[in-house]
């Protein structure tokens, strides 16, 4: 059974930092793509950053480029998202996701390309 578990969310002031971690249990980490997505109240789910399982290609949303870094520790089956210089508009529920599908790019495939999801962790940034 595939399970993704996120930790690391919380409340910070603008300009602060948080590090999200996602541990993959089961066979999730043998999948092709891993990514972080977020959804704010009343808004659609959006991609934050995705990475190929071999780490060759990481892609970021324009809104987080230069502030967020996605990384992975394959032996530990962990995915990370380091978030620096946080802004109030980063406030959302953040989800770790994995895709066992093949044939599409990890980023351009969109959130529905991902078939395994964590429960989410809340990030709140106050001004």
Q: Which DSSP string do the residues of 9-55 spell out, in sequence order?
A: -EEEETT--EEEEEEEETTGGGSSEEEEEEE-TTS--EEEEEEETTS
Mode of pairing for the β-strands spanning 3-7 and 18-25? antiparallel
- pLDDT over threshold 70, residue 28: no
Looking at residue 105, what is its pLDDT?
93
pLDDT digits (tens, 9 = 90+) for 30-50: 688 999 999 999 999 999 999
Give the integer Cα–Cα distance in Å for 88 and 74: 31
pLDDT digits (tens, 9 = 90+) for 57-80: 999 999 999 999 999 998 888 999
26: confidence class by pLDDT, cuts 50, 70, 90? confident
Looking at residue 29, what is its pLDDT?
61
Looking at residue 56, what is its pLDDT?
80
């Amino acid at each position: 059974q595939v399970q993704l578990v996120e930790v690391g969310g919380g409340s910070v002031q603008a300009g602060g930092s948080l590090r999200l971690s996602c541990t993959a249990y089961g066979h999730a980490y043998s999948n092709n793509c891993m990514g972080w997505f977020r959804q704010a109240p009343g808004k659609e789910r959006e991609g934050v950053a995705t990475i190929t399982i071999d780490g060759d290609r990481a892609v970021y949303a324009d809104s987080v480029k230069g502030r967020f870094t996605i990384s992975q520790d394959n032996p530990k089956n962990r995915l990370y998202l380091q978030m620096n210089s946080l802004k109030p508009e980063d406030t959302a529920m953040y989800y770790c996701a994995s895709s066992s599908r093949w044939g599409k790019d990890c980023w351009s495939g969109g959130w529905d390309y991902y078939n395994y999801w964590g429960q989410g962790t809340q990030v709140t940034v106050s001004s």
